[in-house]
Chains A and B, each alone.
Chain A
Amino acid sequence: MPYIPNTAADRSAMLKAIGVASVDELFADIPAKVRIGDLRIPEGRSESQVVDHLSRLAQSNVQNLTSFVGGGFYDHFIPACVDQLASRSEFYTAYTPYQPEASQGTLQAVFEYQTAICRITGMDVANASLYDGGTALYEAAMMAVRITGRKKIVLDSGVNPIYRNMLYCYTSNLAVDFQEIEVVHGQSDRHRIADALDENTAAIILQNPNFFGGVDDFSDIVELAHAKGCLAVVSAYPISLGLLKTPGAMKADIVTGEGQSLGLPLSFGGPYLGFMATRMEHVRKMPGRLVGQTEDAQGRRGFVLTLQAREQHIRREKAMSNICSNEALCALRALIYLSWLGRQGFRELARICAQKAEYAKTRLSAIPGVKVKESAPTFNEFTLELPCDARDAVSRLIDKGFAAGFPLGRYYKGMDNYLLVAVTEKRSREEIGHFAEALEGIL
């Protein structure tokens, strides 16, 4: 039997040691009337059959599209060493490092990951990971509620609509109120945000670049928030931090984001990586696991899970969060990826993405009838206004071999003609050129 080593002889020896005649006796506590004979599922298949079947299914997904789809999830190149190193089963077949002496590999990697996240975001302390960018943002919102004792959240509409939907879902049983503020001219609306922030507000939640691609410096908004005793939460796209002002430099209190871009495959939506970082003063209110440095009796440096009194296995219903399994292996991938990029590569990658996007913007907006929507500067993603419904344009471009972008009409009223286009370092000048020709051809 695959993966089960017990032989008939093993089983009879073990049954004898236990003092029962059959395995069935071991299940005697299950009431007779609910015992089942057989599951109504197919018989097992050989390894080669399963590989064949799933390879066929994999091939039935279309793979040869040139993609300009982003929306918070990006087609970046993954260096081979990320896959190779993260495939070491000493990493991936270990559990949460509860026994530190037997888990220094994982613990040191998480400590280094925490360091890397702090360095790219400009923050003091990062946790060991959360599920994804959306749940990380929800955890940040609740963390702000705990810190301030207030129940209102001001939410910029430039925050990924998927994340906003998640925030509403998670807080539906909790007394948390949201006030959304529309983006104007591609950036956050200072005046309306200033009006919305009050003594009941726990936090303002912002995203940089925003969902439309607009880049911003939230320093002034953070200052407004702090003046009212509110926290500023910024969801950031990590690759952009190679060039753009960090949330830390903007004096944000909590930073979250989706770490998929840091060496994780798109993999149809997961597993992904939610990162979270904050200021030292808030560390005890932060959810998730945290690795700290310490030493053994001989003074040798080592790493342990720490401040566990925040967590569910100690605090139960009073814990900061219910999270247990996190995304440790994804955090390891992010760390390896950032180590491979290094100080110079991190900046250079951001610059390549920005340059290519700017080039694409120039090419695409030169097409008659196509305009760049907003006046805000952009990083690697931008919004185009088409002379037709963007959904139709995308559908027609799929036939020509392009995933043209994400039509904003799906999430924003009155934006049926707008298309969100993302460009990563993987898109060549030729691909951008062919895309521009194809778009022109279908209009």
Chain B
Amino acid sequence: MNRLIFEKSVSGRRADNLPRLAPSEAGVKLRIPKKYYRDDEAALPELSELDVVRHFTNLSRKNFSVDGNMYPLGSCTMKYNPKVCEKIAALEGFSSLHPLLPQLRGGGMLTQGALEVLHETERLLSEIVGMDAFSLQPSAGAHGELTGMMLIAAYHRDKGNKKTKVIIPDSAHGTNPSSAAIAGFTVVSVPTGPDGDIDFAKYEAALDDEVAALMMTCPNTLGLFEKDILRIAELAHKRDALLYYDGANLNALLGRCRPGDLGFDVVHVNLHKTFATPHGGGGPGSGPVGVKARLVPFLPTSIVIKRNDGTYALEYEREKSIGYIAPFYGNFGIILRAYAYMLLLGREGLRRVSDNAVLNANYMQARLKGRYELPYDRRCMHECVFSAARQSLKGVHAIDLAKALVERGIHPPTVYFPLVVKEALMIEPTETESKEQMDEFIEVMLELADLADKDPGQFAAMPRNTPVGRLDEVKAAKDMRFKA
């Protein structure tokens, strides 16, 4: 039943309805010599428009989504994406705007509305996280990390510092060490201590004059607030090492505290998490980077400025800028949605986001901890991390619980991450789930814990009601079939 679109092709069928050439246009001879042409036709499918529409409509039905299912995927902040933001992003005055327009002489005035959106978004984000300036250019969280690491490298180079290392806790997202390495740094991993915070003594021991930065997620990926953060920052700053804030978990802190006040020098924010822009099946996201004043000279080109007369312009000439990390001004369509979301929620709304996100996660934690092992038993922030260690003694692993949840119509939590917890189940309900929905999830989780005790053999066949059952991943890697 899952025929590929290419397998539905019928020779001679067409959906396209392209403009016709005027005779005078068609009459001009193309001056492209034969050797420059392709000698085959690209084997794209031949279908009617209805064929195309049915194909993708039916495909869409094979997805779990926030709009259709509870989606408590830890670290991903799968909150509801307000529909009005989609409507705003589709406004013709934004969606049809060519990015090169403001680079034409006299063109800046043609894009004032778009430039205002960028400038105002930077201003709001700066206040929300306590930074002095923002660049909206990074296209995703990992892209923001890389930009941040490049800013830190530029800062140290400018000061004549010889720094080669970046400290990263072992609970960090894989993007952190990867981004640091791509920016040319050596990664020093520091373990997690017994209470789930970074092991302070080991951090202190790792901190020397060659350390350029410490990358942290706060709350960390265990969903725990780093209690020693102020001491950690103070020690780093004494050595002129900078603090980088991975904003993946910012949904816990809105209106309660600001990374800038905690001592962080560079921050990235995932607009597709905290600021409710849709995840798109894996993207596009947006990962703006905020900095404290001493890093402002290094921000990527271009920079949106507000002139004294109230108009907006783009500035390209900044001597110390790291240069071009994006072709233009960032994922504008995503930034626009996030801007709308910030306007909708405002000061009170954003604080309530975090209040309810944290309340919901703690409720989950309280209700489930009798049946699932809680490796770090303390108040969590916006997510809680359990382990399926007890269930795995019976042969039911985190992945089995995940597949059983799929069968029940619930998207599973993140499994096997963070790496520091064996059989991890990382649950992030977000503030947009209701208590009834969470209660349903909790009931299912408790039933599954019972089933794991009484009849663990049942799990292997799950899920039984999805378009396909458990797929053979080894075969996929072995066959290496990546196209029709």
A95 touches B76 (CB 8 A): yes
Is B193 located at the chain interface by the 8 A CB criterion? Answer: no
Is B307 located at the chain interface by the 8 A CB criterion? Answer: no
B346 touches A43 (CB 8 A): yes
Given known contacts A344-B16, A398-B106, A425-B18, A42 and B346 CB-to-CB distance under 8 angstroms: yes
Q: How many angstroms between the C-alpha atoms of A38 and B255 in the bound complex?
A: 6
* Proximity string of chain B (346-386) to chain A, C-beta cutoff 8 Å, 1 when within and 0 when not: 11111111011011101101110000000000010100000
CB distance from B471 to the nearest CB of A (A): 5
Q: How many angstroms between the C-alpha atoms of A326 and B297 in the bound complex?
A: 29
Given known contacts A2-B82, A90-B65, A352-B21, A101 and B471 CB-to-CB distance under 8 angstroms: yes
B39 touches A269 (CB 8 A): no
A95 touches B281 (CB 8 A): yes
Output the residue of A103, A269, A316, A338 with the most chain B CB within 10 A. A269
B379 touches A297 (CB 8 A): no
CB distance from A363 to the nearest CB of B (A): 9
Is B159 located at the chain interface by the 8 A CB criterion? Answer: no
Given known contacts A50-B343, A329-B280, A34 and B257 CB-to-CB distance under 8 angstroms: yes
Is B141 located at the chain interface by the 8 A CB criterion? Answer: yes
* Proximity string of chain B (183-200) to chain A, C-beta cutoff 8 Å, 1 when within and 0 when not: 110010000000000000
CB distance from A157 to the nearest CB of B (A): 16
* Proximity string of chain A (1-34) to chain B, C-beta cutoff 8 Å, 1 when within and 0 when not: 1111110001101110111100101111111011
* Proximity string of chain B (216-245) to chain A, C-beta cutoff 8 Å, 1 when within and 0 when not: 000000001101011000000000000000
Given known contacts A3-B82, A265-B333, A271-B334, A292 and B480 CB-to-CB distance under 8 angstroms: yes
With A93-B67, A297-B469 known, 10 other A-B pairs at CB within 8 A are: A20-B362, A26-B358, A61-B93, A69-B101, A93-B279, A170-B325, A339-B15, A347-B42, A349-B16, A403-B104
Given known contacts A36-B261, A102-B406, A324 and B175 CB-to-CB distance under 8 angstroms: yes
* Proximity string of chain B (56-77) to chain A, C-beta cutoff 8 Å, 1 when within and 0 when not: 1101111111111101010010
Which bucket holds chain A's interface residue count? 35 or more
A53 touches B481 (CB 8 A): no
Contact for B18 among A92, A294, A324, A349, CB less than 8 A: A349
Which bucket holds chain B's interface residue count? 35 or more
A316 touches B344 (CB 8 A): no
* Proximity string of chain B (330-346) to chain A, C-beta cutoff 8 Å, 1 when within and 0 when not: 11111010011011111
A112 touches B64 (CB 8 A): no
A328 touches B283 (CB 8 A): yes
Can you identify 24 A-B contacts, CB atoms within 8 angstroms?
A14-B363, A18-B362, A23-B355, A41-B128, A67-B98, A73-B99, A73-B100, A81-B52, A89-B68, A103-B62, A165-B324, A267-B95, A268-B332, A271-B331, A292-B476, A294-B472, A294-B479, A300-B468, A314-B174, A339-B15, A339-B55, A343-B41, A343-B45, A354-B30
Is B2 located at the chain interface by the 8 A CB criterion? Answer: yes
Is A184 located at the chain interface by the 8 A CB criterion? Answer: no
Is A235 located at the chain interface by the 8 A CB criterion? Answer: no
With both beta carbons as reference points, the residue of chain A lying nearest to B31 in the complex is identified as A377
Contact for A330 among B284, B411, B431, B480, CB less than 8 A: B284
Given known contacts A51-B87, A168-B323, A292-B479, A270 and B43 CB-to-CB distance under 8 angstroms: no
Given known contacts A61-B110, A217-B35, A265 and B96 CB-to-CB distance under 8 angstroms: yes
With both beta carbons as reference points, the residue of chain A lying nearest to B316 in the complex is identified as A410
CB distance from B84 to the nearest CB of A (A): 5
Residues in B whose Cβ lies below 8 Å from that of A95: 71, 73, 76, 78, 279, 281-282, 411
Contact for B104 among A3, A5, A311, A407, CB less than 8 A: A407
Residues in B whose Cβ lies below 8 Å from that of A345: 14-16, 18
Is A283 located at the chain interface by the 8 A CB criterion? Answer: yes
Is B457 located at the chain interface by the 8 A CB criterion? Answer: no
A395 touches B106 (CB 8 A): yes
Residues in B whose Cβ lies below 8 Å from that of A59: 93, 113
Interface residues of A in 291-318 (CB under 8 A from B): 291-298, 300-304, 306-307, 311-318
